[in-house]
Structure 1
Amino acid sequence: MPRSALLFLHLLGAVTWVGGMFFAYFCLRPAAAELLEPPQRLKLWVGVFSRFLPVVAGLVLILLATGFSLMAQTGFKNAPIGWHVMQGLGITMAVVFAYLYGVLFPRLRRHSAAAEWPAAAQALNGIRQLVAFNLTLGVVTVAAAVAGR
């Protein structure tokens, strides 16, 4: 695949993932807390995550594949240090996402379906914390990409 296509897919994946986390954390979360009672808020998050997380899972695969391909084209030894930082942070973000998607989200969905609101809220809080962590890593990753040029 041409380098420009790899770079396009990589940037599109990163923008969508980091932008989605920003929107969820700073826009949707406060509005939901302001307007909805906890049971409705938890159901909303199950619906939102049911749509967003599978998309992110695909994006993570695309980001890892395009990132490794771009590094291989350049040569790992020849790649700027910022690219190596970006790669390490990206892998860390992927692991955090895998835990969020594979462990915490099923817990949120299961507890919400059973109307176990305190347990569902606890799962959502864990997701919130990991989204904040991954959002921070995402911003640092973008900075590393820019600095690494």
Structure 2
Amino acid sequence: MTVFAGLKMLHLLCAVLWVGGMFFAFVVLQPSLKVIEAPQRMLLHTQVFKKFFLIVWHVMPAIIITGFAMLPYVGGMPGAPWQVHAMLALGLLMAAVFLAMYLGPYRRFRRTTDRARMASCLSRIRTLIGVNLVMGLIAVIVAGLL
């Protein structure tokens, strides 16, 4: 296996974990939680976010590092196809949205016990996950065009 193939494999695996996790959270988990009472929902969210965000803290830098590491193999920034530029822009935007979510509403969610404030934070987190999910799916489509 070449270095490029290894980088690409790690890059794709990390992207699948991040985007797939967001898809699951947004499309499957969130609607399913409506049958659970609010206190249990908050407890479940606490556990889910703790584990999922830990995963994202590992895969997000790996995606960015492997993406930049693959650039020399595709002609560098000037020689890279438009899809590489689009994926780079989307990846960096997704990282920024994740950081804003983690350092903003998720931090407030973890530090409060007020149910109304927790619900407000969850609403904001859901919105930001939705934004990142859309960007992640677009990045997957763009990657498929390469």
**Secondary structure of 1:77 counterpart:** helix
Residue 16 of structure 2 is matched in structure 1 by 15
Superposition misfits of 4+ residues, deviation over 2 angstroms: none
User: So what's the TM-score if we normalise by structure 2?
Assistant: 0.95
CA distance in 2, matches of 1:62, 1:132: 22
Mapping 1:1-149, distance limit 5 Å: 2-33=3-34, 35-74=35-74, 75-111=76-112, 114=113, 116-147=114-145, 149=146
**Secondary structure of 2:77 counterpart:** coil
> What amino acid sits opposite 1:127 in the alignment?
I
CA distance in 1, matches of 2:87, 2:116: 37
* Long gaps (5+) in structure 1: none
Q: Between the two proteins, what is the percent identity of the paired residues?
A: 38
Structure 1 residue 61: deviation in Å? Answer: 0.4
CA distance in 2, matches of 1:43, 1:93: 26
CA distance in 2, matches of 1:108, 1:76: 39
> What amino acid sits opposite 2:52 in the alignment?
F
Deviations 1:78-125 (A, max 9, x none): 1110110010011000000011112221111112xx2x0000000000
> What amino acid sits opposite 1:71 in the alignment?
L
CA distance in 2, matches of 1:24, 1:12: 18
CA distance in 2, matches of 1:62, 1:122: 31
User: So what's the TM-score if we normalise by structure 1?
Assistant: 0.93
CA distance in 1, matches of 2:82, 2:144: 11
Structure 1 residue 72: deviation in Å? Answer: 2.8
